Amino acid sequence: MLSTLRDAWKIPDLRKKMFFTLLMLLIYRLGSHVPVPGMDREVIEQIFSGGEGGVLGFLDLMSGGSMRQFSIFALNIYPYITASIIIQLLTIAIPSLEALSKEGEEGRKKIAQYTRYGTVVLALVQAIGFSIGFFNRALIDKSFGTAAVVVLTLTAGTAFLMWLGEQITEKGIGNGISLIIFIGIISRLPGALYEIYQLLTAGQVNIIEVLLFGIVAILIIAGVVAIQQGQRRIPVQYAKRVVGRKMYGGQSTHIPLKVLMAGVIPVIFSTSILAFPQTLSLFFEGGFANFVREYLTVNGKVGIWIYSILNVILIILFTYFYTAVQFNPVEYAKNLKQHGGFIPGIRPGKPTSEFLSRIVSRLTIVGALALAIIATLPVLVGSLTDLNIRFGGTALLIVVGVALETVKQIESQMLMRHYKGFLK
């Protein structure tokens, strides 16, 4: 990976893209330290001290520390992710949206526009809930003007982050939204390691527990790499055909079907959905909040098992959903037939699409289960030890997955430029 980054930096065009990406991510981290006006920092710290280790700690981790500082990026990019989930589900349910998604580039632009509108609406609702609801006592002035400034600042911060992510995707390297989440998580890594050191020196945890966590972290990294890189190659033979005086086809190739086509997207979606009732519980006191903490968070004795089971189910469902969005066996079989290709032993057309559907289904269940186990295992390990570590399996999974995808994009960019130079 380091050699790939070094080689990519030597190419002027790629160096410009990488520099642009780093600059945008630097702006994001600087903005994470810009406080929202009209909020009392001491009161916010007291609220976090009372709820640390619970949902507030989780939200703070996923926002890269912006929530605890209540910065302009406190809501982070999660309203955009939630809006994306809603729009994608509506695309399947509403025929007009489904038709729009098949209209090519123009259709995708329209759907992206709807997602932006949904992001602003969701960010506005969350901003009202946090500022006027849960963090109401942190407002320095209870007037409408002050509350409006806080709400608009938080909403604008999310809208700016959405634009920042789109700029990275368009003009930089990698997926901008994933990289924003990636940087937010790894910014907490030094603090998490220092916390482990403090717990170790204070004698609150023993070296065996630290080593156990380290082994699990290494296994997660190895597992993510193996699943992300794993693929099954389906052999394809192209029939010979004569066009004019030239003969085409006759060569053998393969279809590389990845074990995990969806990447880490199912984990991000699952985390966002499971965080929703936890976020909702922050605005209520009493029965509902206690129920959520006990039964739907990793801090409850029963909740850790319910949370883990729901996490596994949602990851499997989203893996199947996202794989179906990315790979259409019917269209693939149709394209193969049109170009004179066939899978040895399988008739072209419907039998080919059914064969590909079976293979993809088997690969997807293996990838989904592996993804779910990797995301859930550290949560269970953390509950069996005294390590108060918020940099858990989901965070490691997202970090490793995004890093792999970004490096693969850099490699594909280098390969494209290499072929261009070779053809010249």
Residue 53 is predicted with a pLDDT of 43
Residue 344 is predicted with a pLDDT of 86
Domains of the chain: 1-187 (1.10.3370.10), 188-391 (1.10.3370.10)
Residue 159 is predicted with a pLDDT of 94
Rounded to the nearest angstrom, the gap between the alpha carbon of residue 30 and the centroid of all alpha carbons in its chain is: 22
Residue 40 is predicted with a pLDDT of 85
Buried b (16+ CB within 10 A) or exposed e, 157-195: bbbebbebbeebbeebbbbbbbbbbbbbbbbbeeebeeb
Q: Is 203 left (phi over 0), alpha (psi -120 to 50) or beta?
A: left
Q: Which residues pair with 71 in a beta bridge?
A: 35
Residue 422 is predicted with a pLDDT of 39
Q: Is 20 exposed, middle or buried (0-12, 13-18, 19+ CB in 10 A)?
A: middle
- Dump pLDDT digits (tens) for 67-110: 888 899 988 888 898 888 888 888 878 888 888 877 877 888 88
**pLDDT < 70 regions, the chain:** 1, 50-59, 61-62, 240-250, 279, 282-286, 381-394, 417-424
Residue 173 is predicted with a pLDDT of 87
Residue 123 is predicted with a pLDDT of 92
CA-CA distance, 334 to 155, in Å (whole number)?
A: 45
